[in-house]
Amino acid sequence: MPSPADPIAISLGGLAVRWYALFILAGIAATILLSRRLARHRGLDPDFILDIAPWVVFSGIAGARIYYLLLRAGYYLEHPGDALNLRLGGLSIHGAIIAGALALYLLCRAKGQSFLRWVDIIVPGLALAQGIGRWGNWANQEAFGTPSTLPWAVEIESAQRPAQFSEFATFHPTFLYESLFNLINAVVLTALFLRRPRWLRNGELLAFYLLFYGLARLVIESIRTDSLYLGPLPAAHWLSMVAIGTGVALLIGLRIAGPNSHSQIGSTGSPTPH
C-alpha cells in the first residue's frame, strides 16, 4: 500500500489544505448525515443534530487536542508555538469521545432531551467518522505498526520511520485495521438501531460501542510503534480499559434499572408508553 507523495491535497493561493483535514471533515459530515437519518427513523427531530453539531464537534476537537497536548506536555512546554498547529495531526480520539460526550450530555440536559436516546443515535455515526478519519493518518504517514512484508503493508518514507526500524520500508497499516473495524462497528450499530430488537434499551448502543472499540483498540495498539505512554503502558491501553469497564458497567446498570429505564420504540418509530 503506497503512501501519498504529498500530504497536501489542495493549494489555493497561500492556503494549503491537507488530506488530514479533509478526512476529518468528511467524517464529521458523514456523522451528521447518518445521525439525522437515524433520528428521523426514530421519529425524532433531525434538526436537533444540526443544532448541537457545532458545539459537540468543537468540544470533540478541543478535547482531542488537549488530551494529546497533555500526553506530550514536555515537548509542548518547550515548543508552545506548536500547541495550536493541527495541520500535522496530533488529535486523540479518546479525548474527542470524552469531551464530545460531555458536551452532548450538557446540551441534552439544557434542552430537556434524553441523553441516552440521542447518544444511541449518534454513536453509529461516530464509528463511521472514525473509520473515515483514520485515513488522515495514512496521509500523514503516522499511526502505523511494526515492520511487515504482508501484501497490504504500507510504505513509509525513511524520515518517518522509528529509529529502531530505520532499515525497514513497509509496516503494518494499523490505521487501516482500525478504519476497517470502525466501519464494521458502524454497520453493526446501525443495524441494531434500525432493527431495534425488544431486548435493546436506550444507552446500550453506547455501551456496545465502548466495549467493542475498547477491545479492538487494545489489540491494535499492541503493534503500533508511535504510542504515547502513560506510565508502563500506552495511554490508549488505559483509556481502552476504562472504555471496556464503562461499557460493561453501563450494560449492567441498565439491566438493573429494569424495563422502565427507557421508552421502547415501536416499528413505526413512535415512543410507546412505559
Task: Supply the pLDDT for residue 73.
Answer: 87
On the CB side of 27, CA atoms within 13 Å amount to 27
Strand (E) or helix (H) holding 51: helix 47-71
- What is 128-164 written as a DSSP string? HHHHHHTHHHHHHT-S-BSB--STTPEE--GGGS-GG
- pLDDT by 10-residue block (mean), the chain, 274 residues: 76 83 95 98 96 97 92 85 73 92 97 96 98 92 94 93 94 96 97 92 96 96 91 93 96 81 41 34
100: three-class secondary structure by DSSP: helix
Task: Supply the pLDDT for residue 40.
Answer: 97
Q: What is the CA radius of gyration of the chain?
A: 20
**How many C-beta neighbours within 10 Å does residue 190 have?**
20
Residue carrying C-alpha cell 431486548? 199
How is residue 248 written as a grid cell? Answer: 460493561
d(CA 148, CA 156): 11
Q: Do residues 168 and 161 make contact, with C-beta atoms less than 8 angstroms apart? A: yes
**How many C-beta neighbours within 10 Å does residue 15 have?**
7
d(CA 251, CA 163): 43
Distances in whole angstroms, Cα of residue 197 to Cα of each of 1, 11, 202: 40, 49, 11
**How many C-beta neighbours within 10 Å does residue 125 have?**
25
**How many C-beta neighbours within 10 Å does residue 133 have?**
25
Task: Supply the pLDDT for residue 58.
Answer: 96
List CB contacts of 130: < 8 A, sequence separation 6 or more.
27, 93, 178, 179, 182, 213
Name the residue ranges covered by the structural domains of the chain.
Answer: 8-258
d(CA 20, CA 136): 4
35: three-class secondary structure by DSSP: helix
Length of the chain: 274
d(CA 159, CA 163): 9
Q: What angle do CA 194, 199, 201 make, to 5 degrees?
A: 70
Can you point out the beta strands (E) in 105-252? Answer: 154-155, 170-171, 229-230, 233-234
